[in-house]
Amino acid sequence: MTVTDDDTATAEEEDDDQQADGEQAEGEQAGGQTQPEAQAGQQTEPESGTETDGEQAGGESGTDTGPQAQAAQQAEPAGDRDILQALYNATGGAGWTSSANWLTDQPLGEWHGVTTDAQGRVTGLSLRDNNLTGTLPAAIGGLAQLEVLSLDRNSIGGSLPAELGSLSRLTRLAMNRNSLTGAIPAELGSLPSLSIIGLARNQLSGTLPTALGSLSSLTKLSLHDNTALSGPLPAGFGTIAGLSRLAVSRTGLSGTLPQGLTNSAMRYLHFDDTGLCAPADSAFQTWLAGVTSHNGATCGS
């Protein structure tokens, strides 16, 4: 179906929230698993709105407190603990809505919003809507086992650190509704497992890195309501077969959508209130008509 202009903002906002809830729930489950289980979990696409009452948002830990957790505490690398402390300090941890067990000697999996694997390594950070301020520290790039970074609905400013490109296991980057500025780092394009990027409703600027078109695992990209973004969509987006969601409404992006999008698994394509347009040829228009939710101009219309 085609969504009208009046409904687009509301639809995208609700969809981002539902998507974030589903991703957070899955991230919590994967974070407390052993490594083989976590890898298997990455292959399942998260469903919207599956988080249950009392999960991570209520402060439960990502690991148990039995002998296995005690062993993990003894084995956990000092580096992960130091990096989380740096995150706490850089984002106003004293003012967080919930910071249970942070900066204590408890196992990291018992710190609010942190999930760990059987070896005590940090695999997930879910601190959505938790009054984080300040900036994201470059040190976060040292969390070598991190798979999920979910920091939606906070007040984090400054630029995204290029060091995020060191998170080789990252599958989800969710920072919708913050105050991020500057360009999207090209280093994100080097992450082989990155499936979901949510950076909507920030103050990002500049062109989209060409390297984002190399993210072969990408399924969902939300950049809408970043009015200072400019330039074309990377042509490489037309080669990502699993891409199912592309939300870039109300940005300064311009040019023609890549023809190769017709080979994708697209179900949600919103590019209204931009300088982007859909190719007018019959093949593309027939494909576009089959996209479940789409909104945007046709070239030459």
pTM of the complete model:
0.80
What pLDDT, on the 0 to 100 scale, is given for residue 70? 54
pLDDT digits (tens), the chain, 301 positions:
444 333 344 455 555 655 544 444 444 444 443 333 333 333 333 332 223 333 333 333 444 445 555 555 555 666 999 999 999 999 999 999 999 999 999 999 999 999 999 999 999 999 999 999 999 999 999 999 999 999 999 999 999 999 999 999 999 999 999 999 999 999 999 999 999 999 999 999 999 999 999 999 999 999 999 999 999 999 999 999 999 999 999 999 999 999 999 999 999 999 999 999 999 999 999 999 999 999 999 999 8
**Which SS3 state, helix, strand or coil, does residue 135 take?**
strand
Q: How far apart are CA 242 and CA 263, in angstroms?
A: 9
258 forms beta bridges with none
What region does 134 belong to: left with phi over 0, alpha with psi -120 to 50, or beta? left
The architecture in CATH of the region 5-29+97-298 reads: Alpha-Beta Horseshoe (3.80)
The residue with tokens 């089959």 is 290
**Domain residues of the chain, as ranges?**
5-29+97-298
CA distances from 94 to 19, 83, 122, 124, 146 (A): 28, 16, 21, 21, 24
